C-alpha cells in the first residue's frame, strides 16, 4: 500500500487528483482508515506492532501529500503568471483626467492676489435673511435701491438660519443677491482692524443672455481700521490690475451710487492687450449707517460697539467677466451648460 500510494501521489497531475488520493487513503472510508479499524480484532502484541506501522505509513502519506500539494500550487501559479504576463514596455492606457472649472480657476487666482496683500477669504450662506442682505447694508424695505437687485424670495421666514455667532435669525429668506451679507456677518463677530475677501455664488432674477446669468459669482473685499481712505482702496485695485494685466495696466474710478458706500465708485482696469478699459465692479467707503447697523446688532447680542471712529472700504467684482476674458469664452452660459467639450479644455489648467 505504501509503495502504491507514494507512487500515485508523486504522479498526481493537479490538485483535484491529489484531493482524490487523500480521500482514497486517509478519508473516512479510505484504505488506511479501514486497516486502522481492523486493529481491534488482532491480539495485543500483534495490534501494537501493526499499529505502529500504520501510524508511520499515515505520517509518510500526509507528508507526501503536503509536499506534492505545494509543488502543484507553485506550478499552477507559474502557469497563471505566464499566461497573464504584461509587457511593461508598452504604453499604458490613458485614463480620463478631470480638472477644475474655469470659474474656480479664476476665483482662486483672484483670492491668491489679495491673500498676498494680507486678506483672508471667508464664506457665508447662500440662503440669507433680509436683514443681512438688505437692511444692514442701508437698503431698507421699500427703498428704491432694492430695485437694483432682482431678488429670489423664498417662502417662510428664517427659522433655523444661524447668525454670525450661532444665534437664530428670523425674517424673510432669500437667495443672496451679492456676497456683501458676509461683510456684515464678519463685522458682527470680529473687531477691526481686518482685511477680508468674500467669494461665492449669488443669485438674481435676470434675463439670461451672452453676458448675463441668473446665477453667477462675485468676489468682494472689505478693509476696516483707523484712517482707511479712498487712497487705500485705489491702491488695492491698482495691485489687482498689476497682477492681472502687468505693469502697464492702470485704474480708473467714476462716481456711482451704491447705498452701502459713500462715496461710491465704479472702477475699471486698463487692459493693455485689448487696448481698452474693462469695467469690473463697484467700490467705495463703507457707509456710516452700515457700521451703525453692525454695532446695533452687536449690542443686541450683548457685545460692546466696535465700529465707532473707524473707516473702511469695500469693493466687489464679477468673476465670470474676468474668466471670459482670461479664457476667451464668448458666452457666459458656456460656464454652466455642462458640455464636456467646453469643460475638457480646462482640465490641464492649474
Task: Enumerate the active-site residues.
Answer: 149, 178, 204, 218, 261, 314
DSSP 8-state class, residue 102: H
CB 315 within 8 A of CB 237: yes
Query: Cα 114 to the chain's mean position, in Å?
Result: 21
Beta strands (DSSP E) in the chain are 120-121, 127-129, 152-157, 161-162, 168-169, 172-175, 194-203, 215-225, 251-255, 261-271, 276-286, 311-318
CB 294 within 8 A of CB 264: no
Distance in angstroms (rounded) separating the CA atoms of residues 283 and 7: 96
Cell of 151: 431678488
Distance in angstroms (rounded) separating the CA atoms of residues 225 and 312: 6
Amino acid at each position: 500500500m505504501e509503495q502504491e500510494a507514494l507512487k500515485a501521489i508523486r504522479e498526481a497531475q493537479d490538485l483535484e487528483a491529489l484531493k482524490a488520493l487523500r480521500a482514497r487513503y486517509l478519508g473516512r472510508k479510505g484504505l488506511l482508515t479501514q486497516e486502522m479499524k481492523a486493529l481491534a480484532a488482532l491480539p495485543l502484541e500483534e495490534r501494537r506492532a501493526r499499529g505502529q506501522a500504520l501510524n508511520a505509513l499515515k505520517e509518510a502519506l500526509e507528508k507526501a501529500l503536503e509536499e506534492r500539494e505545494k509543488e502543484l500550487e507553485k506550478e499552477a501559479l507559474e502557469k497563471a503568471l505566464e499566461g497573464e504576463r504584461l509587457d511593461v514596455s508598452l504604453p499604458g492606457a490613458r485614463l480620463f483626467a478631470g480638472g477644475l472649472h474655469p470659474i474656480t480657476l479664476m476665483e482662486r487666482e483672484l483670492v491668491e492676489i489679495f491673500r498676498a496683500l494680507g486678506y483672508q477669504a471667508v464664506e457665508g450662506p447662500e440662503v440669507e435673511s433680509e436683514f443681512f442682505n438688505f437692511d444692514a447694508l442701508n437698503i431698507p424695505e421699500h427703498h428704491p435701491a432694492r430695485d437694483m437687485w432682482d431678488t429670489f424670495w423664498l417662502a417662510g421666514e428664517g427659522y433655523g438660519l444661524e447668525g454670525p455667532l450661532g444665534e437664530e435669525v428670523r425674517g424673510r429668506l432669500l437667495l443672496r443677491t451679492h456676497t456683501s451679507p458676509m461683510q456684515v456677518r464678519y463685522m458682527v463677530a470680529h473687531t477691526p482692524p481686518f482685511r477680508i475677501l468674500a467669494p461665492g455664488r449669488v443669485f438674481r432674477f435676470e434675463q439670461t443672455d451672452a453676458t448675463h446669468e441668473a446665477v453667477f459669482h462675485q468676489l468682494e473685499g472689505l478693509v476696516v481700521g483707523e484712517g482707511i481712505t479712498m487712497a487705500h482702496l485705489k491702491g488695492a485695485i491698482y495691485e489687482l490690475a498689476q497682477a492681472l494685466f502687468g505693469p502697464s495696466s492702470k485704474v480708473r474710478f467714476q462716481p456711482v451710487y451704491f447705498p452701502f458706500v459713500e462715496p461710491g465708485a465704479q472702477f475699471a482696469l486698463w487692459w493693455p492687450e485689448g487696448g481698452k478699459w474693462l469695467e469690473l465692479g463697484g467700490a467705495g467707503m463703507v457707509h456710516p449707517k452700515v457700521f451703525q447697523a453692525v454695532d446695533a446688532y452687536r449690542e443686541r447680542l450683548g457685545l460692546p460697539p466696535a465700529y465707532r471712529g473707524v473707516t473702511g472700504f469695500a469693493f466687489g467684482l464679477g468673476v465670470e467677466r474676468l474668466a471670459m476674458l482670461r479664457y476667451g469664452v464668448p458666452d457666459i452660459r458656456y460656464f454652466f451648460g455642462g458640455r464636456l467639450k467646453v469643460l475638457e479644455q480646462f482640465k490641464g489648467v492649474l
